């Protein structure tokens, strides 16, 4: 079995999770479930980033110790995972011993090798971004862009990691690993960024300025820079699990690609003599009203509200269907309702109900065998073959939104097939050919429903399970085999109808 280790970013615990965080978990979960179905040995890690100034400040505001604050917010992030049906194998907190131990080891190793040195630094510092700024970060009018929050000039002695000396190596690596960053155009942006000389990376913060961090193993007057600490979670979580490292992919948002994931992380690993991950997937942002959804702007949507109203799978479906991985999407309730009502309730829900109904009404809920193959059957069958061939490569290339579009095209075509065959009319005829067509139509819609459902497994796992239960079908382990048009349901007995997507509201104008 091929090992496939996948991670999400670890969330700062300075506020409650929002839709953007939920999306990243769901996207990574869909990839993880897809790879499991393809036979890989998946290890899926997610977690929280608990150190640093942001958390220290938020705790201070609440008047509680940072550890207590981190405990509370981390619990909230953790509790979100089962609500979203996330199939993670592990959850890491950067305050855990297993993590702190590895961070200390890596720092010591780099220090011993002379990769980390002490120097005086004078410069501008952004607390919000927890980074030193450079002149080129200023706006043309000399002011600091808003994203940096308050910027102060400081002079201090710190420890620096020799990033600069690996610049050429990184350029060479990215040039020879063209698919390292998804989407591809982001890799080009990274190479553009690397045309400017890199600075060495300040990896320490003096304790008097920041208490809340991992102490440097070689100088207790300092704690570790939060990004150096956080990035190492991907490795620390599996350091004692043989055969898991390196990660196949890190899934992150586009805002943390440059420089942390595309520059610091590969260089840190290379300098420490560790293997590099297979790739980085940088997804886009969920926006509301044209700006990024975030804790600080107050426009964040609570994913739990949507889950409570529409159910986990409808929520997962919407996120994956709506967003093209890598691009931004605006979240609107109207669009959510349109997809919920027209795609899930009317289109898919209807197919499930009609199939169960027809089998019940005309064949004692037992699936007959197909007897004839006329144009209608042949066309649907051919469309299936095409859909099946397209969907796997689309999923392999993270084009889940298009895979769902194709899946729903097939579901629509199956509904159209039912309309065309009109079993309710055939049922009134006593002619032998009509009766054969009736049985064939029930067999065909049942098989098409089984297959369409199979394509939804990674995105709507609980719904698929429910449908398979009423179809009396237990899918085998191999997804490719599941996707072969056959007569898998012939002779099985269907259970009662089920309501999958209850109607919360009438659809609004689609405009
Ligand atoms: N703690 C760092 C990540 C360290 S990874 C070693 C961090 N945390 S975060 O809480 O700010 O963001 C966590 C993840 O959520 C990031 O990948 C970020 O891009 C993602 N999102 C935060 N807001 C988002 C949207 N509005 N939309 C989609 N994802 C966004 O950065």
Q: In degrees rounded to 5, what are phi and psi of residue 215?
A: -60, 145
CB burial readout 447-469, b (16+ within 10 A) else e: bbbbbbbbbbbbbbbebbebbbe
pTM, 2 dp: 0.96
Residue nearest to atom 24 of ligand 1 (CA): 20
Instruction: State the average pLDDT for the chain.
Output: 96
Assess contact for 133 and 156: CB atoms under 8 A.
no
How far does residue 59's CA lie from ligand 1's centre (Å)?
Answer: 20
Indicate if the pLDDT at residue 385 is higher than 50. Answer: yes
**CATH T-level assignment (fold) for domain 3-310:** Rossmann fold (3.40.50)
Instruction: Report the half-sphere exposure of 424 (CA within 13 A, side-chain side).
Output: 6
Per residue in 159-199, pLDDT (tens digit) is 999 999 999 999 999 999 999 999 999 999 999 999 999 99
- Is residue 197 within 8 A of residue 164, CB to CB? The reply is yes
Q: Three-class SS string for 424-483?
A: HHHCCCCCHHHHHHHHHHHHHHHHHHHHHHHHCCCCCHHHHHHHHHHHCCCCCCCHHHHC
Give the least confident one: 173-177, 472-476, 501-505. 501-505
Residue 505 is predicted with a pLDDT of 56
Q: Pinpoint the alpha helices (H) of 203-324.
A: 226-231, 233-236, 265-271, 303-310, 312-322
Q: Is the CATH number 1.10.730.10 carried by domain 332-482?
A: yes
First to last CA, the chain: 48
For 5-26, what is each residue's pLDDT tens digit?
999 999 999 999 999 999 999 9
Helices (H), 113-212: 167-176, 184-193
Ligand 1 pocket, residue 256 CB under 6 Å: yes
CB of 306 closer than 8 Å to CB of 336? yes
Residue 134 CA, ligand 1 centroid: distance in Å: 23
Range(s) for CATH 1.10.730.10 in the chain? 332-482
User: Do the Cβ atoms of 475 and 328 come closer than 8 Å?
Assistant: no
Ligand 1 atom nearest residue 14's Cα: 10
From-to residues of CATH 3.40.50.620 in the chain: 3-310
CA-nearest residue, atom 19 of ligand 1: 253
- 66 and 212 Cβ atoms separated by less than 8 Å: yes
pLDDT class of 510 with cuts at 50, 70, 90: very low
For residue 259, say if its preceding peptide bond is cis, omega within 30 degrees of 0.
yes
Strand order in the sheet with 3-12: 90-93, 41-49, 3-12, 249-253, 279-283, 181-182
Question: Which H or E element spans position 158?
Answer: strand 151-161
């Amino acid at each position: 079995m091929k090992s496939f280790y996948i991670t999400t970013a670890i969330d700062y615990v300075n506020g409650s999770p929002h839709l953007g965080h939920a999306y990243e978990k769901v996207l990574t979960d869909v990839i993880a479930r897809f790879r499991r179905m393809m036979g890989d040995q998946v290890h899926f890690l997610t977690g929280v980033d608990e150190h640093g100034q942001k958390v220290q400040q938020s705790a201070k505001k609440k008047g509680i110790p940072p550890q207590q604050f981190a405990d509370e917010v981390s619990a909230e992030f953790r509790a979100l995972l089962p609500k979203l049906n996330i199939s993670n194998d592990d959850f890491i907190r950067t305050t855990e011993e297993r993590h702190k131990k590895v961070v200390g080891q890596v720092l010591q190793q780099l220090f011993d090798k002379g990769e980390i040195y002490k120097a005086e630094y004078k410069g501008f510092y952004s607390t919000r971004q927890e980074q030193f700024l450079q002149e080129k970060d200023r706006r043309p009018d000399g002011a600091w862009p808003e994203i940096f929050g308050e910027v102060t000039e400081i002079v201090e002695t710190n420890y620096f990691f020799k990033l600069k000396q690996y610049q050429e190596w990184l350029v060479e690596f990215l040039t020879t690993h063209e698919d390292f960053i998804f989407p591809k155009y982001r890799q080009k942006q990274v190479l553009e960024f690397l045309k400017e000389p890199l600075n060495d990376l300040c990896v320490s913060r003096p304790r008097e300025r920041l208490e809340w961090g991992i102490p440097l193993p070689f100088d207790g007057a300092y704690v570790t820079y939060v990004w150096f600490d956080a990035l190492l979670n991907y490795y620390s979580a599996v350091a004692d699990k043989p055969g898991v490292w390196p990660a196949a992919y890190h899934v992150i948002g586009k805002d943390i690609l440059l420089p942390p994931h595309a520059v610091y992380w590969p260089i840190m690993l290379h300098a420490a003599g560790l293997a590099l991950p297979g790739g980085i997937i940088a997804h886009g942002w969920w926006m509301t009203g044209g700006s990024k959804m975030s804790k600080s702007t107050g426009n964040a949507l609570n994913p739990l509200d949507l889950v409570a109203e529409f159910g986990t799978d409808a929520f997962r479906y919407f996120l994956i269907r709506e967003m093209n991985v890598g691009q931004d999407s605006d979240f609107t309730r109207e669009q959510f309702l349109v997809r919920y009502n027209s795609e899930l309730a009317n289109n898919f829900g209807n197919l499930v109900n009609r199939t169960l109904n027809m089998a019940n009404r005309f064949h004692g809920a037992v699936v007959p065998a197909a007897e004839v193959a006329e144009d209608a059957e042949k066309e649907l069958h051919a469309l299936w073959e095409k859909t099946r061939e397209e969907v796997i490569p689309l999923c392999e290339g993270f084009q889940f939104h298009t895979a769902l579009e194709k899946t729903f095209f097939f579901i629509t075509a199956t509904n159209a097939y039912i309309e065309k065959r009109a079993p309710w009319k055939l049922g009134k005829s006593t002619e032998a050919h009509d009766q054969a067509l009736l049985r064939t139509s029930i067999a065909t819609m049942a098989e098409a429903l089984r297959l369409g459902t199979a394509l939804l497994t990674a995105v709507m796992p609980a719904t698929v399970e429910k449908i398979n239960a009423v179809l009396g079908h237990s899918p085998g382990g191999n997804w490719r085999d599941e996707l072969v048009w056959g007569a898998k349901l012939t002779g099985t007995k269907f259970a009662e109808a089920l309501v999958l997507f209850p109607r919360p509201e009438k659809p609004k104008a689609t405009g």
